[in-house]
Amino acid sequence: MSKKIAGPEIERLIQLLARLPGLGPRSARKAALALLKRREDLLVPLSEALATAVRTIVMCPVCGSLDTVSPCTICRDERRDREVIVVVEEMADLWALERAAVVNGTYHVLGGHLSPLDGIGPERLNIAGLLDRAASGPVKEIILALNATVEGQSTAHYLTEQLAPTGVIVSRLAQGVPIGGELDYLDEGTLAAAIKARKRI
Ligand code: ZN
């Protein structure tokens, strides 16, 4: 066991920061030190923002996204096409699609992807809610906007099977050459997907 070098309050701060994605113990120590050094312009505002988030941000019971109102702003929006649900793994993916302003449907946030090795089965994701939405209401198409990773694609495969009995159209994002991409830089998997998903002009 490593020797404790700081008081329990600072150790606790470091341990909590180390749980954040992308931060190991070393980065967590640096982050904690930066927070403690910059008390007025960083530590105090951050602690207030965290307290506000705890108090006000809730998970939407319909789509699983995070917002200060329940159901969320998107689920309440009358201008959204309720016949289309775009399924994403995480909130960050929803934000990316909203920034691109390419979706006028509603969303469904799974909260991750299936990963049997990490013990993440269907019951750990927001899948039951999606099946309920698909089986009832006006839904006609479900777009699986999942990551083009092994886990993302196996999650898409699982969802496609689960959604089949509902009769709803299930589609997924195209895979292939990114906008502005040069063929010479692409890996074989991307090139193969692009050839397979080719379109007649
Ligand atoms: Zn919602």
User: Do 105 and 171 belong together in one domain?
Assistant: yes
| Distance (Å) from CA 71 to ligand 1 centroid | 5
Beta carbons of 117 and 126 less than 8 angstroms apart:
no
User: Do 82 and 24 belong together in one domain?
Assistant: no
Residue 64 predicted with pLDDT over 90 = yes
Residues in CB range of 108: below 8 A, 6 or more apart: 63, 64, 85, 86, 87, 88, 126, 129, 130, 133, 142
Q: What mean pLDDT comes out for the span 80-91?
A: 97
C-alpha 106/C-alpha 167 separation (Å) is 19
User: Do 113 and 166 belong together in one domain?
Assistant: yes
Q: What mean pLDDT comes out for the span 70-88?
A: 97
User: Do 160 and 75 belong together in one domain?
Assistant: yes
Q: Among all chains, which residue has been given the structure tokens 């403690």?
A: 36
Query: What residue numbers bound the domain in which 96 lies?
Result: 66-200
| Distance (Å) from CA 59 to ligand 1 centroid | 8
Beta carbons within 10 angstroms of residue 28's beta carbon: 18
| Distance (Å) from CA 63 to ligand 1 centroid | 4
User: Do 120 and 25 belong together in one domain?
Assistant: no
Mean per-residue pLDDT of the chain = 93
* pTM score, whole prediction: 0.84
DSSP conformation class of 21: T
C-alpha 197/C-alpha 144 separation (Å) is 16
Q: What pLDDT sits at residue 106?
A: 97
User: Do 189 and 167 belong together in one domain?
Assistant: yes
| Distance (Å) from CA 170 to ligand 1 centroid | 20
User: Do 16 and 106 belong together in one domain?
Assistant: no
**For the chain, percent of residues with pLDDT exceeding 70:** 98
Counted domains in the chain: 2
**What CATH number did the domain enclosing 13 receive?**
1.10.8.420
| Distance (Å) from CA 176 to ligand 1 centroid | 30
What would the pLDDT profile of 155-183 be if each residue is shown by its tens digit? 999 999 999 999 999 999 988 888 888 99
| Distance (Å) from CA 180 to ligand 1 centroid | 33
Beta carbons within 10 angstroms of residue 68's beta carbon: 12
| Distance (Å) from CA 114 to ligand 1 centroid | 22
Q: What mean pLDDT comes out for the span 104-114?
A: 96
User: Do 140 and 161 belong together in one domain?
Assistant: yes
**What CATH number did the domain enclosing 117 receive?**
3.40.1360.10
| Distance (Å) from CA 106 to ligand 1 centroid | 8
- DSSP annotation string for 46-69: HHHHHHHHHHH-EE-TTT--EESS
> Where are the strands (E) in the chain, listed by range?
58-59, 66-67, 81-88, 105-109, 141-144, 169-172
| Distance (Å) from CA 64 to ligand 1 centroid | 6
Beta carbons within 10 angstroms of residue 13's beta carbon: 20
Residues in CB range of 149: below 8 A, 6 or more apart: 113
Q: Both tokens of residue 57?
A: 């941000």
User: Do 28 and 73 belong together in one domain?
Assistant: no
User: Do 182 and 111 belong together in one domain?
Assistant: yes
Give the burial string for 87-121 (b: 16+ CB within 10 Å, else e): bbbebebbeebeeeeebebbbbbbbebbeeeeebe
Q: What pLDDT sits at residue 5?
A: 65
| Distance (Å) from CA 68 to ligand 1 centroid | 11
Q: What pLDDT sits at residue 4?
A: 63
| Distance (Å) from CA 22 to ligand 1 centroid | 28
Order of strands, edge to edge, in the sheet holding 141-144? 105-109, 81-88, 141-144, 169-172
| Distance (Å) from CA 70 to ligand 1 centroid | 7
Residue 1 lies in a domain: no
Q: What mean pLDDT comes out for the span 144-148?
A: 95
Q: Nearest CA to 13 among 40, 41, 47, 45?
A: 47
Q: What mean pLDDT comes out for the span 8-17?
A: 94
Residue 137 predicted with pLDDT over 90 = no
| Distance (Å) from CA 73 to ligand 1 centroid | 7
| Distance (Å) from CA 159 to ligand 1 centroid | 19
User: Do 49 and 92 belong together in one domain?
Assistant: no
